[in-house]
Every structure is written in C-alpha cells, then in structure tokens.
Amino acid sequence: MEALYSNIHYWLVDHPTISQFEWKQGHTFGSSISFLTISVSVYLCLTLLSLRFSTFIPTLTTTTIRNITAMHSLILCLLSLLMVIAGILSVQHQMPPHDWKWIVCFPGANRTLPRGPVFFWIYICYLSKIIEFIDTLLIVLSSSRSRRLSFLHVYHHALVTVLGYIGLQHAQSMLGLALIVNASIHVIMYAYYFLSAIGKRPWWKKVVTNCQIYQFMLGFMISALMLYYHFTTEFGCTGVGAWCFGIVFNASLLVLFLDFHSKNYTNNIKKEL
Ligand SMILES: CC(C)(COP(=O)(O)OP(=O)(O)OC[C@H]1O[C@@H](n2cnc3c(N)ncnc32)[C@H](O)[C@@H]1OP(=O)(O)O)[C@@H](O)C(=O)NCCC(=O)NCCSC(=O)CC(=O)O
C-alpha cells in the first residue's frame, strides 16, 4: 500500500516536470497573451457564427454525436478526477508545515511565485478549460443545440479560461483550493454528461446543479477568509487584483445558475403538485 502511495506521489507531485514547474509568461506553452486571445476569440467567433448560420450547420447522427460526447465526457471526468487527487497531494506537499492559512492565502510581497506542483495542476486545469471548448462544438453539432447552447454555457467557457490565465499570472491565492473544488464538481458533472450521452440519464441532475451553486457560495466564504488574512498579516496575500475579477465572475455565475435552477427544477415541482 505504501509503495502504491509513493508511486502515485512520485507521478503526481515529485516528478521533476511537476515539482520544478514554473509558469513563465511567454515561455510556458499557452502562457502568452496572444495564445489566450486567439483561443478565446476563435471560440467566441465560431460559436456566434454557428448561432447566426445554424441552418447551414449539419447535425451529426444521434449515434455518432452520442459516441463522441460519451468519449469526450469520460476523458474529462477522468482528467478531473486526476486533478482532484493531484491537487490534494500537491497542496499537502507544497503547504509549509501546519500553515493551514496557506491554503487560502499565499504570502504576498513577492514571496509566492507560480511554481511547484500546485501551480502545475492549476496550469493543467487552465489547459483543460480549452479542451472544454469541445463541449460547445458537440452541442452545436447536436440536434438539441437550440435548447442547450445557452448564454450561461458560452459565457462560462470563455471567461473561465481568461480567469485561469490571470490567476496563474498573478499566483492568485485560493487557486489550489479552487482547483480541488472545481475539479471535484466536474467529476460529477462529466459523469452526468457521460451517462446522458450513453442513454442512461441520471436522476441526480439537480444534485449536480446544487453542487455547482454551493461551489460559488463557498467561493464567497473562502474569499472572506482570504481578505481577513490579507488585511491582518504582514505580507498580505498574493493576487488580490486577480481575485477581484474572479469574485465578480463567481457572483455572475451564481446568479446565472440560480436562474438555471429555478427554470429547470421549480416548474417540475409545480407540475408534480
Ligand atoms: C446538470 C448540468 C451540469 C447540465 O445541465 P444541462 O441542462 O446542460 O444538461 P442536459 O440534461 O441537457 O445534458 C444532457 C445532454 O448533454 C449532452 N452532453 C454529453 N456530454 C456533454 C458535454 N461534454 N458537453 C455538453 N453536452 C454534453 C448529452 O448527450 C445530453 O444531450 P441530449 O439532451 O441531446 O440527449 C447543469 O447543472 C449545468 O451545468 N447547466 C448549465 C449548462 C452548462 O453548460 N454547464 C456546463 C458548464 S458550467 C460549469 O462547468 C460550471 C462549473 O464550473 O461548475
């Protein structure tokens, strides 16, 4: 058992590529402003064009689209699970001994650089947000696109990538925790999408939405703690400027998800009554 743990720890934390990782703008793959701008612009342009010219876009047969979405969702589900495990091990490894405050507040005044295993996995999470653009492509190519290509979906996919970039660039406090929480939610979300795609639509759709809503609420609570440390400790916390963008995004997603919740589930209760 111990040998298995050491092996996992080596491949997820201690391997030189991971332990010596450093986000260097312009050097690390995907770290240039042009990479970010082009990726997000191409994503938005193609999505808007597909909305504008939806009648010209062929829809794939149900079987083809289901097989591709099932495979894509399974890959993202497993990748998210990997990020949860690696995120926990990396935080444990990189956190100074018994300094629990570090989880929500990386020491400021140039004392924290975006390097080491925690930032490696945040970086993988950032790249995974670009892979998640494929979700939108799959929706566009499916027959249910008019129902599922929502503002919430496109807004989330475009902005989360930008915020991941800004967070890495500024070694934003709380990102390690955000990685673990968000990847955990994505494990169940992509499991839900996988099961839907293979025709076994789970009964727990509402549970997934509730978990997403709790995630955004938790974001506010942890932020309050981070701000407390920021204003009461000698060096403050890193990336408070980047956090300002993040918290506005968090608030907007909370509003959009509450709206999604009331539209999708409140009517069901009324129908049941
Ligand atoms: C329960 C939810 C996860 C999903 O709600 P939806 O109404 O979109 O779900 P649904 O029941 O229509 O989904 C089932 C349909 O999705 C298809 N499907 C399968 N895999 C998919 C994938 N990877 N991306 C997009 N769609 C996919 C299935 O084949 C099925 O199609 P068919 O219906 O044709 O059989 C919800 O809580 C939610 O997140 N809603 C917002 C919509 C969204 O885009 N969410 C993801 C990004 S936001 C996010 O990720 C926030 C976060 O960080 O937590």
* Residue that the structure tokens 């009461």 belong to: 232
Measured from the Cβ of residue 167, the count of other Cβ atoms closer than 10 Å reads: 26
Residue-level pLDDT at 273: 47
Residue-level pLDDT at 39: 97
- Long-range pairs for 106-111 at CB < 8 Å and ≥24 separation? 106/171, 106/172, 106/173, 106/237, 106/238, 106/239, 107/233, 107/235, 107/236, 107/237, 107/238, 108/230, 108/235, 108/236, 108/237, 108/238, 108/240, 109/235, 109/236, 111/235, 111/238
195 lines ligand 1 (CB under 6 A): no
Residue 193 Cα to ligand 1 middle (Å)? 6
Q: Apex CA 219: angle with CA 268 and CA 189, to 5°?
A: 45
Residue-level pLDDT at 224: 97
Q: Which residues of the chain have pLDDT under 70?
A: 267-273
Residue 145 Cα to ligand 1 middle (Å)? 11
Residue-level pLDDT at 51: 85
243 lines ligand 1 (CB under 6 A): no
Q: How far apart are the C-alpha atoms of 210 and 160, rounded to whole Å?
A: 19
Residue-level pLDDT at 68: 94
Residue-level pLDDT at 103: 96
Which residue, judged by its Cα, is nearest atom 45 of ligand 1? 153
205 lines ligand 1 (CB under 6 A): yes
CA atoms within 13 A on the CB side of 82: 16
Q: Where does the chain have alpha helices with state H?
A: 2-9, 16-19, 33-52, 62-94, 117-131, 133-140, 145-148, 151-169, 175-197, 205-232, 240-261, 267-272
Residue-level pLDDT at 148: 79
